Copies of this chain bind each other. A is one copy, B any other.
Amino acid sequence: MVSTKRLSARPARESGSERRAELLAIAGELFASRGFLATTVRDIADAAGILSGSLYHHFDSKESMVDEILRDFLDTQRRTNERVLREASDPRAAIIELIRQSFAAMQHHQAAIAIFQNESKYLAQFERFGYLRQAANEFERTWTRVLQDGQRSGAFRADLNVKLAYRFIRDMVWTTVHWYNPRGKLTSNVIADQYIKILCDGIVVP
């Protein structure tokens, strides 16, 4: 039988143990609800039922925690976006599905999304978090391309400022995270449908 013993002498800080995941979830909730700076490592430790020093058995620093949370989310989202683009039949369907998937992400990544929204500006000033800007740029390029394709194919209004429309949609989707309640009456599906309708057809009766 093959030994399962670890070869490395200090695995905990790097591998994906269950405890780590639990702690990251706890930290994520706090970062999202109180803000990164306003959340102390003692807050996190208290919420986890351990002492603050014990967190450093699992993570190098508070920054490492938020780093891991954000990377996880961005990786997932990037993969989802790529899949949507591969499978969409036309620009209109692509935009709608991108939006729907973004709302869907709120169910499992609400904390990460909120952190990405609220703390990117602060964190991106540190070299370590340079990838946040890169990710934002990549998203922008993706969405903008779809909007342009749709405009060329006649699916979207010609008088649309694509850059502004992108920002409009992006903000519309992500700011929802601030008030979305996964246990509330408004499911992410309902919100997505309403927003897509407003976006596509406007609020005014023609």
Residues of chain A touching chain B, judged by Cβ–Cβ distance below 8 Å, are: 9-10, 33-35, 37-38, 45-46, 49-51, 92, 118, 121-122, 154-157, 159-161, 164-165, 167-168, 171-172, 175-176, 178-179, 186, 190-191, 194-195, 197-206
Task: Please measure, in the bound complex, the distance between the C-alpha atom of A167 and the C-alpha atom of B184, giving whole angstroms.
Answer: 16
Residues of B near A51 (CB, < 8 A) are 9-10
Contact (Cβ within 8 A) B200 A204: yes
Contact (Cβ within 8 A) B9 A50: yes
For this chain, the copies found in one complex come to 4
Known interface pairs A38-B122, A157-B205; 7 further A-B residue pairs with C-beta atoms within 8 A, sorted by A's residue number: A10-B51, A37-B37, A121-B178, A164-B191, A164-B194, A167-B176, A199-B203
Contact (Cβ within 8 A) B199 A198: yes
Contact (Cβ within 8 A) A171 B172: yes
Task: Please measure, in the bound complex, the distance between the C-alpha atom of A37 and the C-alpha atom of B157, giving whole angstroms.
Answer: 43
A37-B37, A171-B175 given as contacts; is B205 within 8 A of A164 (CB)? Answer: no
Task: Please measure, in the bound complex, the distance between the C-alpha atom of A206 and the C-alpha atom of B50, giving whole angstroms.
Answer: 58
7 nearest CB pairs, A to B: A171-B175, A202-B202, A201-B202, A200-B204, A37-B37, A200-B202, A164-B194
| 11 A/B residue pairs, CB under 8 Å, sorted by A | A9-B46, A35-B121, A37-B37, A38-B122, A157-B205, A160-B198, A161-B190, A161-B194, A164-B186, A164-B195, A168-B198
Residues of B near A92 (CB, < 8 A) are 204
Task: Please measure, in the bound complex, the distance between the C-alpha atom of A139 and the C-alpha atom of B93, giving whole angstroms.
Answer: 35
Task: Please measure, in the bound complex, the distance between the C-alpha atom of A45 and the C-alpha atom of B118, giving whole angstroms.
Answer: 26
Task: Please measure, in the bound complex, the distance between the C-alpha atom of A195 and the C-alpha atom of B168, giving whole angstroms.
Answer: 7
- In chain B, what residue has the closest Cβ to A170? B175
A37-B37, A122-B38, A167-B179 given as contacts; is B198 within 8 A of A154 (CB)? Answer: no
Contact (Cβ within 8 A) B203 A165: yes
